[in-house]
Structure 1
Amino acid sequence: MSWPQVVVLSVLQGLTEFLPVSSSGHLAIASRVFFDDDAGASFTAVSQLGTEAAVLLYFAKDIGRILKAWFNGLFVAAHRSADYWLGWWVIIGTLPIGIIGLLFKDQIRTGARNLWLVATALIVFSVVIAAAEYYGRQTRRVEQLTWRDSVIVGLAQCLALVPGVSRSGATISAGLFLGMDRELAARFGFLLAIPAVFASGLFSLPDAFEPVSEGMSATGPQLLVSVLIAFVVGFAAVAWFLRFLVRHSMYWFVGYRVVLGTVVLILLGTGVVAAT
């Protein structure tokens, strides 16, 4: 990989990871449009370590409170608060993507990054996000979450294994369909992503140096800079996005997804950009 490619893709990763627009889809598109080659799923997974570190920092107080409540509740039933159960819901909700990610890791690194699929997913899943925004009651609070909610949102997170869907778009949409308010759906989805993304990034680290199938190789310094850039940009992005969700709907992102997906389909159809 070239240094310009590392910088551009890392900034893009930080900007789009938390928005319902698919960071992996954006990296696949930008790689082909601007650099005529795909950086690969492994580089994307490693750069996500930076954005998840940003989530850890941003939610540090919440995570600390949840961990404390979870450990206290394990031994004293009277201490089992909403934070205690939230700890369990995060654990349970993480299991589906861990299992499915391992089972289909080869397909995720190769065929799933076809730009025809990415562009189609951007457009089609826009309908899901719009429907969730329209039909979601947004009346449920964190105290009302159950293990069924964590399983459903966890299964929705698995859809993000397809570039173009969006992890936050899938989890927030699932939360809205379940009646959560928009900010709770986003926060719960971000917490669910932490263990999954860190595991994926660390698992993909060796392949980012020397890809065994699709993708480009990156040096140690390039990967380190990528993580740092994604961390700084990602921290600003998550802070902005959560404030945005308090006052605005996700319809703004629906329109953007449809436009981007349509443009990519036109570029593919006219032969300007290669699908793989």
Structure 2
Amino acid sequence: MSAHLSWLEAAVIGALQGVAELFPVSSLGHSILLPAVIGGSWARDLDVSAPDSPYLAFIVGLHVATAIAMIIYFWRDWIRILRGLVTSVRERRVETADQRLAWLLVVATIPVGLAGLVLDHLFRTLLAKPVPTAVFLVVNGVLLIAVEELTRRRAAGGAHTGPGGAAAALEAPTVRLDARPDAPTQVIRGGSGGVGVATAPTAEEESDARVAKLPLLTAVLIGATQILALLPGISRSGATIGSGLLAKLSHEDAARFAFLLATPVILAAGVLKLGDLVGPAGDGIRGQVLLGSVLSGVGAYVSVRYLTRYFEHRSMRPFGVYCIAAGAACLAWFSLS
């Protein structure tokens, strides 16, 4: 099959991938279902399960663009976290919240990295088809609603201590000497009358400090739930946010940890297969890949900006309802067509 991807297909799927990757609704699921519903050349050109599919090479480019957008959005945080990792290795200690969070992210990424190398081709070949994808999308919606219901019941029973969840109550915010340079400052007077200036921690740093208190095994289990996203229709962010909620993180902290976890995974998945775009699979579609990647990056940046605020006060329940409705509608459409 000759490589073909229209500019309209590239623009629509690029924008869709960027937005859906971070919303708990499965970007891969939508990238499979939308072409199948439209049919015609869309179903033929955008078949991710086809051998040597140019669509797969196209999606690789979109993943790299999505990861870059997330790195840009969280750049201050990644500099701080990477600094913590470097100092931890150099000094052979794990003492600060940044050092501990850095290692949690490293270790929690290992399970999905190994699973992706072993299972990605198998799952894509066997399951990346419209009907199984629609079924998994319904399952994704059910899981989102079930997690929210468990969280609500636990909060009603007193397991949560307020909007910040149990993790927020572990300790009061502390003053950090390594906070961002542009953060508000506080004057600290020593016992001998000396005066020093420290910066107050930002909301992001306070969130990371709470997440860094997760037990190592819990963080690994949260990271491992990203393996579920290898099933088309199951959302990566939905799985990690949901498992974070079950670990008694607040919605805000669980979403932030999920986005930080997803960034290296999405980037690695794209970079490892970036060679496909240089080879025959990329012939004739590199311009479309560039267009789709730009739209995907913009969509991802806008999405993460919106979702970090959305999860400060709201739940995943509306996304669960959407997934059930969209999956069921697709199954009905496929049965009638």
TM-score by length of 2: 0.75
CA distance in 1, matches of 2:89, 2:236: 30
CA deviations over 1:54-73 (Å, ceiling 9, x no partner): 11011111111111122122
Asked if residue 51 in structure 1 is aligned to residue 117 in structure 2, the reply is no
RMSD across aligned C-alpha pairs, in angstroms? Answer: 1.9
CA shift digits 1:155-179 (9 cap, x unpaired): 1001001110011001101101111
Deviation at 1:112, TM superposition (A): 2.1
1:36 aligns with 43
Provide closer, same or farther for how the CA distance between residues 106 and 79 of structure 1 changes in structure 2, counting only shifts above 3 A: closer
Contact kept in structure 1, 2:148 and 2:317, CA below 8 Å: yes
* Aligned 8 A contact 2:251 2:314 in 1: no
Is 1:19–2:36 an aligned residue pair? no
Among 247, 258, 261, the alignment partner of 2:313 is: 247
1:191 alignment partner AA: L
Out of 34-43 and 115-124, give the one that drifted further: 34-43
* Runs of 4+ that moved beyond 4 A: none
Aligned partner (choices 4, 13, 25) of residue 9 of structure 1: 13
Gaps of at least 5 residues in structure 1 are 272-276
User: Once the two structures are superposed, what CA deviation does each residue of 1:152-202 show, in whole Å capped at 9, x if it has no partner?
Assistant: 112100100111001100110110111111111111111111221111112
Kindly indicate whether the alpha-carbon contact (under 8 Å) linking 2:225 and 2:243 is maintained by their aligned counterparts in 1.
Answer: yes
How much has 1:8 moved relative to structure 2? 0.4
Mapped to 2, the partners of 1:199 and 1:190 lie a distance apart of 14
Following superposition, the deviation at residue 123 of structure 1 comes to 1.0
* Matching of residue 102 in structure 1 with residue 129 in structure 2: no
Residue deviations 1:124-170 (CA, integer Å, cap 9, x gap): 12222112222234322324212112211121001001110011001
Alignment identity in percent? 32
SS of the residue aligned with 1:118? helix
Farther off after superposition, 75-84 or 146-155: 75-84
- Which blocks of at least 5 consecutive residues in structure 2 are unaligned? 49-55, 152-159, 168-209
- What is the letter of the counterpart of residue 249 of structure 2? M
Distance 1:163 1:45, change over 3 A: farther
- Equivalents in 2 of 1:56, 1:235: separation in Å? 9
**Per the alignment, do residues 64 and 261 of structure 1 end up closer, same or farther by CA in structure 2, a change over 3 Å counting?**
same
Deviation at 1:115, TM superposition (A): 1.4
Aligned mate of 1:222, from 288, 292, 297: 288
- 2:95 is aligned with 1:80: yes
**In structure 2, C-alpha distance between the alignment counterparts of 1:218 and 1:127, rounded to whole Å:** 40
Structure 2 distance, partners of 1:18, 1:218, is 29
- Counterpart among 247, 263, 270 of residue 201 in structure 1: 270
Partners of 1:254 and 1:115 in 2: CA distance = 19
Name the SS for the 1:247 alignment partner: coil
- Greater helix share, structure number: 1
The equivalent residue for 1:92 is: 107
CA distance in 2, matches of 1:74, 1:122: 41
Determine the C-alpha separation between the residues in 1 that align with 2:235 and 2:226.
8
Work out whether residues 104 and 212 of structure 2, in 8 Å CA contact, stay in contact via their aligned partners in 1.
no
CA distance in 1, matches of 2:295, 2:105: 27
TM norm structure 1: 0.90
Distance in 2 separating the partners of 1:3 and 1:53:
22
- For residues 74 and 251 of structure 1, what CA distance do their matches in structure 2 show? 41
Quote the Cα distance in structure 2 between the aligned partners of 1:121 and 1:226: 26
Instruction: Report 1:91-240 matches (<5 A).
Output: 91-136=106-151, 137=160, 138-140=165-167, 141-208=210-277, 210-211=280-281, 219-240=285-306
Match of 1:67 among 79, 82, 85: 82
